[in-house]
C-alpha cells in the first residue's frame, strides 16, 4: 500500500468515528479549522451543580423535571445554581472546588434557528476528563480524554428556538485512563476550552492535510475529505500569494488527493512565514494560514529545511502562572511563549498532553517549534482491554487537530513509561506505527528515563528508541541523582550511535529569592543549588554524543499536589526557571547564556 493509501486508510478509520463503547456513542473526531466556519459561541456563564456523590445520574438531572402536582418535588434544580465560566477549569472558580476531583453538571440554554439544508454540530475544545453530553433531555454521547476537541452532530436533535445542553464532567483519575492515577501536574477539571455550535452545508469540507512531503522543499502532498452524501465535488486549493490554484475531484468516499509543486518561503524560527490558503469545494469554503517547512532526521542530526538545527527548548505545562489555573486563551499562550522566546528558545515541549490550539497557533506565528505530546505518562495500564482504542483515539485526535500546523515538528507518544509494565512495548510500538501511517512528515519519539547511571557512566537503551526518530531522555543528575564524578567526565554509552540525542528534561528545584541555606545542600531549595545544577549540566552536555537539543524542566513553577514540603513547595513543583509570580531565578540566566552561545 503506498503512502497515500496507507494514510487514507488511517483517516477513513477516523471519520466514521463513532466508536460504540458499551451502549454509549463516542464523540466524533472534530472537523478541521472551526475558526473558518459559521460559529455560534456557547462560551460564558453556565449553571453548575457540584455532585461529589454522583447522585445526578440517579436523579437524571438532564431531564430537568419540574413539579406539576402539589405533591411533586425534585431534589435538584439548575435555577439559582452556581455559575461557572466556560472556558476555564472549575477548580480555580469556586473555593469549594479547589481540590475537587469528581462530577460537576454544567447547563447552558441557547436559542437557535437552523436554516434549511444546513447541518449543526456541537463542538468542545476540551473537557477534562470525561464528558457525557445531553441535549434537550436526551444523551447525545460521551467523550474520554481531557486535552483535545470533539464534536456531536445535533442536526436532527436541535429544536427551533430554546435548547438546553447539559454536560456531566468528571475529572476523577482513572486507572485505565490517559493519564492514569499518578501524574505530577494539577488535575484541573471542567469544560476547559471553548464550546461552539458549528453550522455547515449538507456536504462540507470535514478535514484536509496540506503540508510539504517528507524530504521535499517544494512538493505539497495531502488530501481533502468531504462529509455528506452527494455527488463528487470539485476541490480547489488556492495560495494567492504564490498565484497557485490546484484543482481536484473527490472520489466516491469524498476524498481528493492533493499534490502540487511550488517554490515557498520556508517557515523557520527566523522567518515564521505563513501563507493564506483557501480550500474550496462546490459547497464549502475555508481559509487557513499554513506554513511550509521540512523537518527530518539525517544520520544523527535534525534538519530543518535541510539545515542542521540545535533545539533550544523548554518544557511548559498548560497553566497561566499568574492566575495559577488552566491556560486556554491566546493571551495565555502569548504570556508563556514570549517567556520561552525571552529565554532564547526555538522549541517548546508542551508537557505532557496536547495544549490548546491557541498555544500551537501562537507558537507557529512566533516562530517557535512545537513538541506535541500524548498524556501516556508513567503508570499506564497497557494491558487494559480498552487501552488500544483509547491510545488510537487520542493519537488520531492530536494528529487530526494539529497536522496542518507546520510549527509542530515532533509527535511524542509517551513519557517515562516502564518497560516492566505488561504490554507497554507492544502497545507503544503499535502506536508509533499508527502515527507514521497518519503523518510521516514529522519526527516521532518516546521520552524515556530507563537509562542506568553507574560508575559515572550513563547506559542508554530502551526498545522504544528502536522505533523513535530521536533518543529523547529525561535525566536529573545533580537533583534526584547525585553526580558520581565531575560532570564533564560523564561517560555516555548510547546503544543508538546513529540517532540524534535530545535531553528532554533536566533541572532541580529552588524557591525564587531563597538563599537561606548552604549552597551545596539540596534540602534548602536555594537558588544557588539550582544554579549549580544548571552549570554542571551544561558542562556535561559537551560529553553527550550526537546532542541535538536540550530542554530544561521547566519554564515556570507550577501546581502539583504531591509536592508537599510545607516551607519550600506548598503544592508547587519548584523546578521552574521562573517563579509563578514571574521572578527569574539564577538558573534562568545560566540557561539564557547557554542558549545565546548556541
In the complex with ligand GCU, the residue whose CB is nearer, 352 or 361, is 352
Site string for ligand GCU, 180-219 (x = CB under 6 A): ----x-----------------------------------
Distance between terminal CA atoms of the chain? 42
Asked if 547 and 503 touch (Cβ cutoff 8 Å), the reply is yes
Q: Which is nearer to ligand GCU, 170 or 573 (CB)?
A: 573
What the block records as the C-alpha cell of 115 is 436554516
To the nearest whole angstrom, how small is the minimum distance from the Cβ of residue 327 to ligand GCU? 17
Residue 211 or residue 315: which is nearer to ligand GCU going by CB? 315
Q: Give dist(CA 206, CA 255) in Å, integer.
A: 10
Between residues 206 and 505, which has the closer beta carbon with respect to ligand GCU?
505
- Tell me how far, at minimum, the Cβ of 465 lies from ligand GCU, in Å: 17
Side-chain half-sphere CA neighbours of 8 within 13 A: 19
The backbone region for 507, taken as left when phi is positive above 0, alpha when psi lies in -120 to 50, beta otherwise, is left
Cα distance between residue 41 and residue 76, in whole Å? 27
Q: What is the DSSP letter of 11?
A: H
**DSSP assignment letter at 114:** P
Residue 358 gets which letter from DSSP? H
* Smallest separation, CB 446 to ligand GCU (Å): 12
State the minimum distance, in angstroms, from the CB of residue 507 to ligand GCU.
Answer: 8
CB of 379 vs ligand GCU, minimal distance in Å:
12
Q: How many residues bind ligand GCU (CB under 6 A)?
A: 10
Q: Give the H/E segment covering residue 46.
A: strand 44-51
Contact 285, 32 (CB under 8 A): no
Kindly tell me which residue out of 370, 573, 579, 585 binds ligand GCU, with binding defined by CB under 6 A. Answer: 573
Binding pattern to ligand GCU, positions 289-328, x when CB under 6 A?
A: ----------------------------------------
**Strand extents, DSSP E, 339-407:** 347-350, 369-373
Question: What torsion do the CA atoms of 559, 563, 564, 568 make, to the nearest 10 degrees?
Answer: -80
Burial of 457 (C-beta count, 10 Å sphere; 0-12/13-18/19+): middle
Interface mask toward ligand GCU for 125-164; x: CB under 6 A: ----------------------------------------
- List of long-range contacts for 522-526, beta carbons under 8 Å, 24+ apart: 522/479, 524/568, 525/565, 525/567, 525/568, 525/569, 525/574
What is the smallest separation between the CB atom of 554 and ligand GCU, expressed in angstroms?
7
- Residue 416 beta carbon to ligand GCU: minimum distance, rounded to whole angstroms: 5
- Closer of 56 and 549 to ligand GCU (Cβ): 549
3-state secondary structure of 463: helix
d(CA 157, CA 152): 10
Q: Is 416 in the site for ligand GCU (CB under 6 A)?
A: yes
Among 339, 415, 445, 546, contact with ligand GCU (rule: CB under 6 A): 415
Q: CB-wise, 292 or 512, nearer to ligand GCU?
A: 512
Looking at the Cβ atoms of 439 and 475, the one nearer to ligand GCU is 475
Give min distance, CB of 64 to ligand GCU, in A: 41
Question: For the chain, what is the radius of gyration of the CA atoms?
Answer: 25
Kindly identify the residues of this chain, within the stretch 335-364, that bind ligand GCU according to CB under 6 A: 352
Site string for ligand GCU, 437-476 (x = CB under 6 A): ------------x------------------------x--
Which of 47, 575, 584, 585: binder of ligand GCU (CB under 6 A)?
Answer: 575
Min dist. Cβ of residue 560 to ligand GCU (A): 7
Q: How far is the CB of 353 from ligand GCU (least distance, A)?
A: 11
User: Side by side, which strands form the sheet with 150-153?
Assistant: 28-29, 150-153, 118-124, 195-201, 38-41
Dist. CA 355–CA 584, nearest whole Å: 24
Q: Which residue is nearest to ligand GCU (CB)?
A: 184
Is 317 exposed, middle or buried, given 0-12, 13-18 or 19+ CB atoms closer than 10 A? buried
Among positions 472-531, residues that touch ligand GCU (CB under 6 A) are: 474, 505
Nearer to ligand GCU, 509 or 536 (CB): 509
**Min CB(166)–ligand GCU separation in Å:** 34
CA nearest to 256, candidates 226, 278, 276: 226
Closer CB to ligand GCU, 29 or 417, in the complex: 417
C-alpha–C-alpha distance, residues 516 and 504, integer Å: 30
579 binds ligand GCU (CB under 6 A): no
Binding residues among 550-569 for ligand GCU as defined by CB under 6 A: 553
Nearer to ligand GCU, 255 or 572 (CB): 572
23, with CB counted inside 10 A (0-12, 13-18, 19+), is: exposed
From the CB of 558, what's the least distance to ligand GCU, in Å? 9
Indicate the residue among 451 and 573 with the shorter CB distance to ligand GCU. 573
Torsion angle (degrees, nearest 10) of CA 52, 58, 60, 66: -100
In terms of CB distance, is 346 or 449 closer to ligand GCU?
A: 449
Query: Which residue lies nearer to ligand GCU by CB, 87 or 507?
Result: 507
Q: How far is the CB of 575 from ligand GCU (least distance, A)?
A: 5
DSSP labels, 198-257? EEEESSEEEEEEEEEPTT-SSEEEEEEEEESSSS--EEEEEEGGGTEEEEEE--TTSEEE
Residue from 510, 502, 434 nearest 478 by CA: 510
Cβ closest to ligand GCU, residue 129 vs residue 553: 553
Closest distance between ligand GCU and the C-beta of residue 578, in Å? Answer: 15
What residues make contact with ligand GCU under the rule CB under 6 A? 184, 352, 415-416, 449, 474, 505, 553, 573, 575
Amino acid at each position: 500500500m503506498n503512502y497515500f493509501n496507507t494514510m487514507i486508510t488511517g483517516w477513513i478509520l477516523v471519520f466514521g468515528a463513532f466508536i460504540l463503547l458499551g451502549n454509549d456513542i463516542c464523540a466524533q473526531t472534530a472537523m478541521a479549522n472551526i475558526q473558518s466556519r459559521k460559529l455560534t459561541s456557547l462560551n460564558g456563564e453556565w449553571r453548575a451543580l457540584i455532585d461529589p456523590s454522583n447522585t445526578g445520574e440517579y436523579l437524571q438531572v438532564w431531564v430537568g423535571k419540574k413539579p406539576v402536582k402539589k405533591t411533586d418535588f425534585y431534589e435538584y434544580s439548575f435555577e439559582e445554581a452556581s455559575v461557572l465560566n466556560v472556558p476555564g477549569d472549575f477548580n480555580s472558580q469556586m473555593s469549594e472546588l479547589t481540590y475537587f476531583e469528581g462530577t460537576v453538571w454544567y447547563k447552558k440554554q441557547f436559542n437557535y434557528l437552523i436554516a434549511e439544508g444546513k447541518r449543526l454540530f456541537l463542538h468542545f475544545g476540551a473537557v477534562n476528563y470525561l464528558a457525557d453530553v445531553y441535549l434537550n433531555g436526551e444523551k447525545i454521547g460521551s467523550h474520554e480524554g481531557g486535552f483535545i476537541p470533539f464534536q456531536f452532530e445535533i442536526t436532527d436533535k436541535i429544536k427551533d428556538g430554546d435548547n438546553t445542553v447539559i454536560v456531566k464532567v468528571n475529572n476523577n483519575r482513572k486507572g485505565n485512563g490517559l493519564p492514569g492515577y499518578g501524574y505530577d501536574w494539577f488535575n484541573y477539571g471542567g469544560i476547559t476550552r471553548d464550546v461552539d455550535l458549528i453550522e455547515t452545508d449538507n456536504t462540507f469540507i470535514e478535514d484536509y492535510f496540506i503540508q510539504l512531503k517528507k524530504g521535499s522543499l517544494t512538493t505539497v502532498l495531502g488530501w481533502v475529505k468531504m462529509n455528506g452524501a452527494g455527488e463528487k465535488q470539485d476541490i480547489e486549493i488556492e495560495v494567492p500569494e504564490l498565484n497557485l490554484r490546484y484543482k481536484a475531484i473527490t472520489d466516491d468516499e469524498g476524498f481528493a488527493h492533493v499534490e502540487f509543486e511550488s517554490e515557498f518561503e520556508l517557515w523557520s524560527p527566523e522567518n515564521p512565514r505563513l501563507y493564506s490558503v483557501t480550500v474550496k469545494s462546490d459547497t464549502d469554503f475555508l481559509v487557513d494560514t499554513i506554513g511550509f517547512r521540512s523537518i527530518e532526521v539525517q544520520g544523527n542530526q535534525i534538519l530543518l529545511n535541510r539545515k542542521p538545527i540545535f533545539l533550544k527548548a523548554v518544557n511548559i505545562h498548560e497553566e497561566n502562572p499568574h492566575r495559577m489555573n488552566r491556560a486556554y486563551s491566546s493571551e495565555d499562550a502569548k504570556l508563556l511563549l514570549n517567556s520561552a522566546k525571552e529565554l532564547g528558545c526555538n522549541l517548546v515541549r508542551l508537557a505532557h498532553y496536547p495544549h490548546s490550539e491557541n498555544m500551537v497557533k501562537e507558537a507557529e506565528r512566533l516562530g517557535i517549534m512545537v513538541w506535541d505530546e500524548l498524556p501516556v505518562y508513567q503508570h499506564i495500564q497497557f494491558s487494559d482491554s480498552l487501552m488500544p482504542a483509547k491510545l488510537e483515539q487520542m493519537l488520531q485526535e492530536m494528529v487530526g487537530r494539529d497536522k496542518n500546523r507546520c510549527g509542530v515538528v515532533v509527535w511524542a507518544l509517551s513519557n517515562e513509561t516502564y518497560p516492566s509494565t505488561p504490554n507497554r512495548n507492544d502497545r507503544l510500538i503499535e502506536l508509533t506505527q499508527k502515527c507514521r501511517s497518519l503523518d510521516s512528515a514529522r519526527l516521532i519519539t518516546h521520552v524515556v528515563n530507563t537509562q542506568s547511571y553507574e560508575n559515572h557512566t550513563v547506559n542508554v537503551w530502551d526498545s522504544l528508541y528502536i522505533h523513535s526518530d530521536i533518543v529523547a531522555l529525561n535525566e536529573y543528575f545533580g537533583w534526584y541523582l547525585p553526580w558520581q564524578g565531575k560532570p564533564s567526565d560523564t561517560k555516555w554509552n548510547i546503544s543508538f550511535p546513529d540517532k540524534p540525542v535530545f535531553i528532554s528534561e533536566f533541572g532541580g528545584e529552588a524557591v525564587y529569592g531563597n538563599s537561606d541555606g548552604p549552597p551545596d545542600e539540596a534540602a534548602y531549595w536555594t537558588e544557588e543549588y539550582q544554579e549549580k545544577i544548571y552549570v554542571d549540566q551544561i558542562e556535561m552536555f559537551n560529553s553527550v554524543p550526537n546532542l541535538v537539543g536540550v530542554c530544561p524542566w521547566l519554564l515556570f513553577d507550577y501546581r502539583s499536589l504531591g509536592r508537599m514540603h510545607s516551607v519550600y513547595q506548598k503544592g508547587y513543583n519548584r523546578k521552574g526557571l521562573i517563579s509563578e509570580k514571574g521572578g527569574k531565578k539564577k538558573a534562568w540566566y545560566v540557561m539564557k547564556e547557554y542558549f545565546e552561545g548556541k
